[in-house]
Amino acid sequence: MEIPNLAGVATKDLVEQIGSGSFKASYINWSRTMHLLRTHAPGWMVEAVPAADGSLLHRAPVGAYLQIRFRHPEGYYTPSVPQAVMDHRNNAIPFDKITARDVTDTQRRGACMAAAMTFGLAYELWAKMPLESGYSEHAPLAVEAPSTKAASAVVNPTEHFEQVVNTQAKSELDFIKACELRGLNNKAIQSLLGKVKNNYDQGIKNLENKDQEWVDLINGQSA
């Protein structure tokens, strides 16, 4: 079976902007990326290849990774692509510190990355190339993200306060991803979730005005 070529499928209207100034970036949400896959490559479904022990996590010298590939109902499947389980700074998380949330985030991030590598889906974001309808690369590359923010994405939290800090954010997941990209730890994020009271748009806007000293303080209080 021929592997679909989805280069050029992603368009400007799917791109979202996040942050401002040096933290501004562009991305395509992971759910939109998967919708494009279902629409333009029907039948191809993402799956995580189990490790030898039956779990999803493949052990590495430091931490672990998922093996992501795509399978078709007719029995065909693509080569698997590894996606490391990483923290908000793109550092490998020690194996015994990996949580269920880390696994689900990695699966979404890896699915977008594998879709770009395998089908060329939204590869333009990774390559910082213009998308159809005049997408501009003035904003830095962002990926879903995966965040969970995903087109797709390798995230540098210093350059890319992305995948969720935009004025149109609508969900708790958006707020959590914005917190992660800002450098907040899990306990700090849970504390802030109780304070925003479902007003995620305002919560994300407030994060844009916070400096590293504030991040360190909140992380310290939640340690």
Rounded CA separation 48/81 (Å)? 9
Return the pLDDT at 142.
Answer: 38
**What residue spans define the domains of the chain?**
12-129+138-222
Cα first-last separation, the chain? 52
The string of DSSP codes covering 77-127 is: BPPPEEEE-B-TTSPBPPGGG--HHHHHHHHHHHHHHHHHHHH-TTHHHHH
Mean pLDDT across 8-35 = 74
Whole-angstrom distance, CA of residue 112 vs CA of residue 83: 10
Among 1-10, 15-24, 123-132, 163-172, which range has the highest average pLDDT? 1-10
Check pLDDT > 90 for residue 223.
no
Adjacent-strand bridge partners of 58: 65
Give the per-residue pLDDT at 203: 81
Mean pLDDT of the chain: 77
Structure token digits, residue 144: 């879903």
State percent of the chain over pLDDT 90: 36
CA angle 158, 29, 20 (to 5 degrees): 35
**Helix (H), strand (E) at residue 46:** strand 45-49
